[in-house]
Amino acid sequence: MKYAIDQDLQTAILSPTDLVASLKSNIDKTFHYASQVNFQPLITQIKTAKNVLIYATGFTQNNYSKDFSNDLFLSGRPNFLISGETNFEMISHTLTSEDLVIITSLSGNTLSIQNTIKLLNINQVPLCSVTRFGKNFLNDHANFQLYYEVSEIPSPVVDTGKNMIGLNIILSILSHKYREFVLFDE
């Protein structure tokens, strides 16, 4: 009985929302932001880096980062997608100022990787943060910052779901700009 009442209360709290309009808004805001970004310094860093490493702090971020990694491969840019905090920490000890680390995150405040980020800064390893809009630990410690729009999305499974399509959009824009550079501008 208690479960049924909790479910009824949860259902009552969810008000009808135009989820497609919200999705479009996130995409539009991310594209608008991207139109104002000078991608050239980051694209040059991707091109000239000895190694490009991509690390994602969550499940959705990892899925979109895999697509980004694949897009870079298809543009002729080898890269490494790092899985797991322990692996990220171990690999960070081998990186130099000739490498580039791209980190995708929702909040940019993942506590468990902050010491690794500080070590990368000490070793002057270039970092690119890709986070939701707003100030956070990761973008404070990165040489390059990219942002994306995030919105709440109702879910019958979790209290607060996040629409993170903006992450996919900004990574796709970056990979397409890199491909343009390699094919047409070099």
CATH for 55-185, among 3.30.200.20, 3.40.50.10490, 3.40.50.2000, 3.40.640.10? 3.40.50.10490
Please write the tens of the pLDDT for every residue from 136-184.
Answer: 999 999 999 999 999 998 888 888 889 999 999 999 999 999 999 999 9
Q: Residue 123: what are its φ and ψ, rounded to 5°?
A: -85, 5
Percent over 70 (pLDDT), the chain: 91
Question: DSSP state, 82?
Answer: E
The number of beta carbons lying within 10 Å of the beta carbon of residue 174 is 24
Write out the H or E segment, with its range, that includes residue 4: helix 2-13
Nearest of 81, 98, 100 to residue 43 by alpha carbon:
100
Percent helix, percent strand, percent coil in the chain, to nearest 5: 55, 15, 30
Q: Is residue 10's pLDDT more than 60?
A: no
Inform me whether the pLDDT recorded for 5 exceeds 90: no
Residue range 68-87, pLDDT digits in tens: 999 999 999 999 999 999 99
Which position has the higher pLDDT, 83 or 15? Answer: 83
C-alpha span between 169 and 1 (Å, rounded):
44
Question: What's the start-to-end Cα distance of the chain, in Å?
Answer: 67
**Which pairing describes strands 144-148 and 127-132: parallel, antiparallel, or unpaired?**
parallel
Looking from the CA of 155 toward its CB, the CA atoms found within 13 Å total: 10
Q: Where are the domains of the chain?
A: 55-185
Neighbours of 42 (CB within 10 A): 21
The number of angstroms, rounded, from the C-alpha of 155 to the middle of its chain's C-alpha atoms is: 22
